Amino acid sequence: MANQQMSRSSKRRNKKKRDFYIGIGLIFMLLAVVFVAVKWITPVELENAGEKKSTETAKKPKKVAPKKQVEKETATVADNTAIDAYLESLGFSGTALVYREGKIVLNKGYKVANRDTDVANTPDTVYYIGSSQKAVIATAILQLEERGKLNVDDSVATYLPDFPNGNRITLRNLLNHTSGIVGHTEENRKITPEDLIKDIEAQGIKRQPGKWDYNDSNYSVLAFIVEQLSGEKLMTYVQKNIFEPAGMKHSGIYTTFDKEKKPSVGYSIQKDGTYKTPYLPDLSQLYGCGDMYMTATDMYLFDRALSDRKLINDASFEKMFTAGSASGYGMGFYADPGSYNSHGVLSGWNVSNSFSHSGKTVVVLLSNIQNNIKSFGKVNNHIYQLLNN
């Protein structure tokens, strides 16, 4: 009996030992499997799972600018400081926006929009743009040409049968300021576009077309033709076909100027150094040629949209920026050797807008002091020099 008990005890011990060693063996096998998974499977899985991330990481060194480009970026920061200091030194009052090779170098307001309330000028301040509006009207005319509604070499009489010398004056003459018309004299009263055109027709001509003679009324006539051919009010057409495609959100005409959150007040400096709000006629008198406002950002967006052919095609772009006379004026812009420029002056406001032929540089200066800087064109040119240095 004792021997049987010992035998059973011995078997239990042997079974425990066997189970122990089997357990140890299983553990080693599991560790071996884990080791293989970590060493061989995991890197492949990680590589596949993070392929996009790894590829982006691998490309990062390529995105880092080479030495020459880094120097350009460093220069851009310096240019920002130099441009800012330059405008401050001039006593510039308004908003300046400078774009260079994919970056907004500067977008800043200077001094005040309203001297009575001491509200500052900011990038969101709106300004009347004066004759820079002509570029918008020229864009509308070229769009209508692309749609087969007109030809810029059509006679004005094609659309306005009673227009003086209308059989000889073409739309191109109006666009280039070579029409020879006398034009409308501004008054301080409200006037409809129809009555404005009747007055321009009544004033007649002073010479045959062909000679440069800058005249706001050329663009009032063009604006009226845009309305006639589009079947829409001018600003309805402009909003849908120019402002919206360009992404311009704070542009309009005098009827909505005061509804903007940040309107500017225009000033002129008197001989004694004081500021005065100058006489401004009822802006209905400047229909199509000086009743429009924008922010600096919107003007920049307009320039970029033209340059990127979002508003007009290549053929129209070439027409717009081909000088129609020795003045260098094309259609709404002057076609200068290195850039395209538009200028605008309205009682209390001053504008200089330009973009390079390549489209890589845009300089917008909108000011609410008309006469504290003698030549905005020279200021604009100097900013290009600072950028190029």
Mean local confidence (pLDDT), 195-216: 98
Q: What are the boundaries of each domain within the chain?
A: 2-63, 73-388
Cα–Cα separations (whole angstroms), residue 152 to 158, 160, 167, 205, 241: 11, 14, 13, 20, 19
> 341-361 burial, b for 16+ CB within 10 Å, e for fewer?
bbbbbbbbbbbbbbbbeebeb
pLDDT at 374: 85
Mean pLDDT over each residue of the chain, to the nearest integer: 86
The partner residues of 104 in beta bridges, in order of sequence, read 99
Picking from 64-73, 183-192, 236-245, which range would have the lowest pLDDT averaged per residue?
A: 64-73
pTM of the model: 0.80
Per-residue pLDDT tens over the stretch 8-20: 444 455 555 555 5
> What CATH architecture is 73-388?
3-Layer(aba) Sandwich (3.40)
Q: Which residue has the higher pLDDT, 73 or 249?
A: 249
Q: 287-319, pLDDT tens digit by residue?
A: 999 999 999 999 999 999 999 999 999 999 999
Nearest-angstrom CA–CA distance, 116 and 225: 41
127-128/292-294 β-pairing:
antiparallel
**Cβ-contact 121, 94 below 8 angstroms:** yes
| pLDDT, position 6 | 42
Judged against a pLDDT cut of 70, whether residue 120 lies above it is answered with yes
Phi and psi, residue 342, nearest 5°: -130, 145
User: What pLDDT does 261 receive?
Assistant: 96
Banded model confidence at residue 349, pLDDT cuts 50, 70, 90: very high
Asked if residue 5 has pLDDT above 60, the reply is no
| pLDDT at residue 232 in the model | 98
CA 93 remoteness from chain centre: 20
pLDDT at 50: 34
Strand partners, 293: 128, 252
